Structure formats: structure tokens, C-alpha cells
Amino acid sequence: MGAPKGNSYYLLAVGFKKPKSYTPQALWKKAVEYIKWVGDNPLPSKKAFSNGKRIKEDKMRAMTLQEFCLFAHISRETFYRYENQKEYSDICAQIKDVFYTQKVQGAAADLLNPAIIAREVGLVDKKDITTEGKPITPPALNITVAPIDIPIAEKEE
């Protein structure tokens, strides 16, 4: 499935050349601009009803690190390098926390697809309800059948 008609994704990458260099404060300011942009640019959608009527509705746009990097004109590698520098580490952690929280809350309110968001944020529900941690296939049993002498009663006449 391609991008919806009339999208503005290309605007995120316009002028993408050499990655920009940000101070920690400027990176936070850019993150705030991105957060506002996400709120101002929901995803357009059409909803169809059984009576044939269709309505347009806006869907919540999930904040992602990848989209933020496009918005800020930096690569993810640049963001990861910032993240590993002491002066940037708190800002980068806060940015990632905002994105994580928005996705989890959006999924909890059913504004974002919970299954996709669960994978995105690494939530996994692992329950072993049948084997209690033991292998599913039990080990093979060696059964030997020994011959048994069973007296056979003869028919009386």
C-alpha cells in the first residue's frame, strides 16, 4: 500500500543534504517543533459505512524517531551519536520518552493500532499456559514388550 494521495511526506526530506548539527537545546527545540507538527498534521482517512456513506476523518499520527530525524534533517546515526554524548543524553532520552508515551497512550485510547504500537515499543505478552515451561514434546519412551505365557484353556466337549 502506497502513501495516500495528497500526502506531504516529501516535505520532510526536502533539502536533505549534510546532517545538521544541533546543540542540546536546539535539538530539544526541534523536537518540540516536530511534536507540534505531528499534532497539526494528522493522517487523513476515509471511513465507509454499510449504508454506502463515507466520511473523512483524521487519524492520530504516531511520533517516531525515524520521522523526527527526517524532520530535523539528521540521520538516525547522528541521533544515536548524540544519544551517546553526555551533554545530549538526557535530551535524547526525554525525546524518546515523549515518543514512547504518545504511542502507548494513543494505542490505549484506540487512536493508534495497538498491535502495531506494541511491536514498535517492544511490548510482548508471553504466557505459557499449557506446558509450565517444559518442552512441548515429551521425550520418547522406550517400551519393550516381553512375551507372556498365558495358558489357554482347552474347550471341553
Cβ-based burial of 91 (10 A; exposed 0-12, middle 13-18, buried ≥19) = buried
pLDDT tens figures, 26-46: 999 999 999 999 999 998 888
Distance CA(103)–CA(152), nearest Å, equals 78
How far from the centroid of its chain's Cα atoms is residue 88's Cα? 25
Please count the residues of the chain. 157
Q: Supply 6's cell numbers.
A: 495528497
In whole angstroms, give the CA distance from residue 125 to residue 131: 16
Tell me: the pLDDT tens digits for 65-102? 999 999 999 999 999 999 999 999 999 999 999 999 99
Q: Does the residue 41 lie in any domain?
A: yes
Give domain status of residue 98, yes or no. yes
The CATH number assigned to the domain holding 92 equals 1.10.132.80
Q: Do residues 79 and 69 lie in contact, with contact meaning Cβ atoms separated by under 8 Å?
A: yes
Residues 6+ apart with CB under 8 A from 61: 38, 41, 42, 43
Q: Give the mean model confidence (pLDDT) for residues 114-119.
A: 81
Distance CA 22, CA 29 (A): 10
Per the structure, the complete domain to which residue 50 belongs is given by 18-121
Kindly state whether residue 145 falls inside one of the protein's structural domains: no
Asked, for residue 4, whether it belongs to a domain, the answer is no
- Residue-averaged pLDDT of the chain: 82
Residue 2 lies in a domain: no
Lowest mean pLDDT among 5-9, 68-72, 126-130, 150-154: 126-130
* Residue 15 pLDDT greater than 60, yes or no: no
113 found inside a domain: yes
| Residue 132 domain-assigned (yes or no) | no
112 falls within a domain: yes
Q: What is the number of domains present in the chain?
A: 1
